[in-house]
């Protein structure tokens, strides 16, 4: 069966790419053997495609060269900054050797590591710059605290270190777990991993405060009484928001209920009502007073009840619509 030149010319791009079906390929080849016009069209098409391939290759090479240039320049700039940061350390080292004391030189070295981690590391790190910067900054800060503690002869290192790491993790861990090296390992457990890390650092911080200062059982009793309701509330809200299979309004209602329960438990266990401020309400010639924690709990319960009612109404409306 013979085909017109128009049909064959429409098939030529697919023929050149080698994606035609077997029957179409045979038909085009037979037509080209007898048609000089379509053969010339095929040669022109091949030449234009070869030019496009050359252009694409040159574009890729140019982009690769530009990327390599910027990487080299960043490495050079990072190396220069690292050298600048090492200069005062070298000067202090010379002075320390001349004066016979090197302990404070280590503090200067550790102190210079902090700006280096914030300036030089992002320029030198080839990938995951933010993650490398955060990690190097945390290590540099810990080293500085350790050097300072050793130099002053104190026993506060663990308290300061765990408190600093807890603060860093509290703000930056949610972003760090999204970095590819970490995200690949923890998968969908990003939120749970952050919660476990923050909780662990908080517990270590509270324990180190008691151990470093030689505090007795009263401290641990108070720390436990205060921390337990707070941690339970935070975990309860997290688990509700993350795993509860219900609408957003009902999740918010449950979260307010958990917060109210935490306020009430804190007031009861720790005896907050004896030490906290009071709220006074005067009406109809009478006066009612209750602790501020109780007031917060009442507010949370009220808001939670309203949200729960709204959530139930929304659920019923959705069920009727179906």
pLDDT at 243 over 90: no
Greater confidence (22 vs 102) lies with 22
Residue 97 domain flag: yes
Greater confidence (138 vs 56) lies with 138
CA distance 217 to 229: 19
Dump pLDDT digits (tens) for 149-190.
Answer: 888 888 888 888 999 999 999 889 888 888 888 888 888 888
Is there a single domain that holds both residue 192 and residue 241? no
List Cβ neighbours of 117 (8 Å cut-off, separation of 6 or more).
133, 136, 137, 139, 140
Residue 25 domain flag: no
Greater confidence (318 vs 135) lies with 135
Is there a single domain that holds both residue 177 and residue 113? no
Greater confidence (215 vs 252) lies with 252
Specify the pLDDT at position 196. 92
Number of Cβ within a 10 Å radius of residue 135: 16
Give residue 120's domain range. Answer: 64-154
Is there a single domain that holds both residue 126 and residue 104? yes
DSSP calls for 233-276: HHHHHHHHHHH--S-HHHHHHHHHHHHHHHHHHHHHHS-HHHHS
Q: Which of 154, 181, 198 is the last residue of a domain?
A: 154
Is there a single domain that holds both residue 113 and residue 185? no
pLDDT at 305 over 80: yes
Is there a single domain that holds both residue 96 and residue 168? no
Q: How many domains does the chain have?
A: 3
Is there a single domain that holds both residue 107 and residue 176? no
Question: Lowest mean pLDDT: which of 33-47, 89-103, 197-211, 284-298?
Answer: 89-103
pLDDT at 307 over 80: yes
Specify the pLDDT at position 127. 80
Residue 270 near residue 299 (C-beta atoms within 8 A) = no
pLDDT at 303 over 80: yes
Residue 9 domain flag: no
Is there a single domain that holds both residue 183 and residue 202? yes
Specify the pLDDT at position 81. 55
Residue 262 domain flag: yes
pLDDT at 273 over 60: no
Residue 287 domain flag: yes
Is there a single domain that holds both residue 148 and residue 169? no
CA distance 280 to 296: 13
Over residues 195-202, mean pLDDT: 92
Q: Which of 101, 136, 154 is the last residue of a domain?
A: 154
Let me know the angle formed at the C-alpha of 320 by 318 and 322, rounded to the nearest 5 degrees.
75
Is there a single domain that holds both residue 250 and residue 309? yes
Question: Lowest mean pLDDT: which of 119-128, 149-158, 209-218, 269-278?
Answer: 269-278
Residue 38 domain flag: no
Is there a single domain that holds both residue 127 and residue 193? no
Dump pLDDT digits (tens) for 56-69.
Answer: 666 666 666 665 65
Residue 283 domain flag: yes
Specify the pLDDT at position 152. 80
- Of 100, 143, 98, 135, the C-alpha closest to 118 is 135
List Cβ neighbours of 269 (8 Å cut-off, separation of 6 or more).
225, 228, 229
Dump pLDDT digits (tens) for 75-134.
Answer: 555 565 555 556 665 656 555 555 555 566 677 777 777 877 777 777 777 788 888 888
Dump pLDDT digits (tens) for 249-258.
Answer: 888 888 888 8
Is there a single domain that holds both residue 241 and residue 167? no
pLDDT at 292 over 60: yes
Question: Can you say how many angstroms the Cα of residue 36 is from the centroid of all Cα atoms in its chain?
Answer: 64
Is there a single domain that holds both residue 81 and residue 110? yes
Q: In terms of pTM, does the model score above 0.75?
A: no
Greater confidence (58 vs 135) lies with 135
């Amino acid at each position: 069966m013979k085909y017109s030149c128009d049909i064959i010319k429409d098939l030529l791009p697919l023929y050149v790419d080698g994606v035609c079906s077997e029957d179409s390929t045979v038909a085009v080849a037979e037509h080209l053997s007898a048609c000089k016009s379509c053969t010339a069209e095929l040669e022109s098409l091949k030449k234009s495609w070869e030019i496009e391939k050359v252009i694409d290759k040159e574009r890729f090479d140019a982009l690769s060269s530009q990327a390599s240039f910027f990487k080299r320049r960043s490495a050079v700039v990072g190396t220069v900054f690292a050298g600048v940061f090492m200069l005062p350390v070298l000067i202090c080292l010379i002075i320390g050797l001349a004066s016979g004391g090197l302990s404070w030189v280590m503090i200067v070295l550790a102190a210079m590591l902090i700006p280096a981690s914030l300036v030089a590391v992002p320029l030198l790190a080839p990938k995951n710059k933010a993650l490398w910067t955060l990690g190097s900054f945390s290590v540099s800060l810990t080293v500085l605290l350790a050097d300072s503690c050793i130099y002053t002869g104190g026993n506060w290192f663990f308290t300061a270190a765990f408190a600093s790491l807890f603060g860093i993790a509290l703000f930056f861990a949610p972003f760090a777990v999204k970095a590819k090296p970490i995200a690949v390992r923890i998968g969908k457990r990003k939120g749970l991993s952050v919660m476990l890390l923050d909780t662990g650092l908080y517990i270590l911080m509270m324990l180190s405060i008691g151990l470093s200062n030689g505090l007795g059982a009263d401290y641990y009793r108070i720390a436990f009484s205060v921390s337990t309701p707070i941690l339970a509330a935070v975990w309860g809200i997290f688990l509700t928001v993350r795993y509860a299979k219900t609408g957003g309004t009902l999740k918010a209602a449950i979260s307010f209920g958990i917060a109210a329960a935490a306020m009430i438990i804190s007031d009861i266990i720790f005896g907050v009502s004896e030490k906290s401020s009071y709220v006074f309400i005067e009406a109809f010639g009478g006066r009612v007073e209750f602790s501020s924690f109780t007031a917060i709990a009442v507010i949370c319960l009220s808001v939670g009840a309203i949200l729960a009612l709204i959530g139930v109404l929304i659920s019923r409306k959705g069920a009727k619509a179906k």
